[in-house]
Amino acid sequence: MKPSSLKIETDIPPNLTASQANDISLSLDPPDYFYTYYYRGILRQDLKQYREALADLDRVIQLQPDYAEAYNNRGLVRYQLKDYRGAIKDLQTAAELFEQQGNPEAYQFVQQTLRELPSSPR
C-alpha cells in the first residue's frame, strides 16, 4: 500500500490550528500535565498572545516550580507586557535554577539575556 493511500481515522477535525490541537490535548491529558501548558504557552508567545501565554506559563510554574524553561519564557512574556520587574525576577530565577540543575549553557544564555535587556523603567 502506498503511503499516500493510507487514511488515518480520528475524531479530530481536519484543519486545526496548532493552538486548537493543543487545547484538545489539554482536554485529554491529566490536569497536571505541565508540558502541554508549556508548549501552548510558547505557541501563544510566538503568536504574540502574551496574556494567554502568561496564564499558561503561570500554570506550568504552579505545577512544576523547578522548571527553569518556564521561568525563562515567562520572563520574556512579562517583558513584552512591560512588566519589567517581573521579567527580571523570572529571568533571575531561571538562571538560578539552570545553575542548580547543572545546565551552564542555559545559565549563561539567560545571564546574557539579562545583560541585553534594553534600559527600561524598573
CATH number for the domain spanning 28: value is: 1.25.40.10
d(CA 39, CA 37): 6
CA distances (Å), origin 36, targets 51, 73, 88, 115: 17, 15, 25, 30
Quote the DSSP letter at residue 4.
Answer: G
Q: What is the pLDDT of residues 3-21, one digit of tens each?
A: 444 443 445 455 656 666 6
Q: Quick check: 28 and 54 in contact, CB under 8 A?
A: no
* 23: in domain: yes
* 65: in domain: yes
With 90 as the cut, is the pLDDT of residue 84 above it?
yes
Q: How many domains in the chain?
A: 1
* 62: in domain: yes
Where in the sequence is the domain holding 70, given as residue range(s)?
17-116
| Lowest mean per-residue pLDDT among 9-13, 83-87, 88-92, 118-122 | 9-13
pTM for the whole structure:
0.75
Report the candidate in 89, 100, 104 with the shortest Cα–Cα distance to residue 117.
Answer: 89
What's at 8, amino acid-wise?
I
* 81: in domain: yes
d(CA 119, CA 122): 9
Residue with cell 500554570: 59
* 2: in domain: no
* 44: in domain: yes
d(CA 109, CA 122): 21
